[in-house]
Amino acid sequence: MNYKRVNKDSTDRCWKKCRDLDDINPRPHKPDEKMKPIDNFTFLYDEQYLLSISWNPVPNADIYVVVHWATNSILQYSQIITTVPYLHNFTFSPHNLCQENAVQVVPISGIYGTGPMSDPNVIPPPRPQISPRLKLLSMIYEPKKYVSQNYEANGTITITFGYEPSAWPLGDEDLEVIPMFHMMLCAEPDLTQAIPVPEFSKGSQKYTIQGQIGSDMMYRKCKFIYSIQEVHSSQCDISEYVHAKTDDFGNVEISCDKVQNSECHKIESFRAPVCGQVDKFNYDVLERDKISWNNKASNISVNISYVPYSTNADRKPLYYVALYGDALPYDSSEEVCLV
């Protein structure tokens, strides 16, 4: 535009349109009305550590400017513009994950201008979350002496647990998983020395932890229960206690049969015979006319059928033995009931 050629009348008409937009969007005459500040600011982290921020809508607000910064670095800030009174799936800078972050929201109207800036809303850093369940992966015996404080054992058992992956933004390498590994009882108690609580650390494989106990736990057949008790972020220096429910606890008996490479002296044993535990016993005498019933030495051939009691399909009998002879009455009614 050549301003030298613009006369006063056209300039007035131009300013009138630019200032009030009379011909396009007439502005209501409300000189005393002001924009209100936001209220009811809320925030929530989800399971993926994404942040949802919301506030009550401000009347006449067309957009909201969200300004955020780490509280330990107020000179470095960022801003987001949104047309709705919320932000979903929002994350702060990874550099600020472990810091408190402050958020201020400004409502803006095309008619009424800029509203008041909200007070800073401080959002704490997320806390690491993890499933309380552990999976027992292995128990391996090593013939090396185990010493812990005043406790000694001739061998060492290394126990490895696996846990479910977490969506923690800093990765699994940042997390320290601390289990609860509690001894319930032992088949052969030992009151001569106190049993130390084993310390667990990260295993050689991802999402695993390992701890060591003395080999006498194996010989004494000690039972333990376990779950995840706490998870700690090394970089953020934040710990979160894990609240396990009854179904989240696992249990294990440490015995020679369950520990790999154990040097236990194993005695091979077999189940004792099961006597008389059959049902629907029937018999049929063959060739009755050829039997000399008055002669005890006479042979009698019979077909026998029965249904054995079986509670375990993996332990089927190898064979059956039939005992026979002269029938005698039982001495008591109690013996009859045992048949």
- In this structure, are residues 125 and 139 in contact, taking their beta carbons and an 8 Å threshold? no
Class level of CATH domain 20-123? mainly beta
Average pLDDT, the chain: 84
Annotated domain spans of the chain: 20-123, 134-254, 278-337
Nearest residue to 85 (alpha-carbon basis) of 62, 56, 106? 56
137 closest CA partner among 294, 243, 307, 252: 252
**pLDDT at residue 178, rounded to an integer:** 96
Whether the pLDDT of residue 145 is over 70: the answer is: yes
Residue 157 pLDDT greater than 90, yes or no: yes
Of these ranges, 139-143, 185-189, 273-277, the one predicted with the greatest mean pLDDT is 139-143
- Cα separations in angstroms, 94 against 70, 105, 125, 154, 253: 11, 22, 11, 48, 44
Tell me which of 118-122, 176-180, 263-267, 288-292 is least confident. 263-267
For residue 5, the model assigns a pLDDT of: 46
Task: Assess whether pLDDT exceeds 70 at residue 153.
Answer: yes
Distance of alpha carbon 125 from alpha carbon 64, whole angstroms:
24
pTM for this entry? 0.65
- Averaged pLDDT for residues 87-103: 90
| pLDDT number for residue 285 | 85
The residue with greater pLDDT, 140 or 193, is: 140
> Which residue would you say has higher pLDDT here, 298 or 38?
38
Instruction: Indicate if the pLDDT at residue 31 is higher than 60.
Output: no
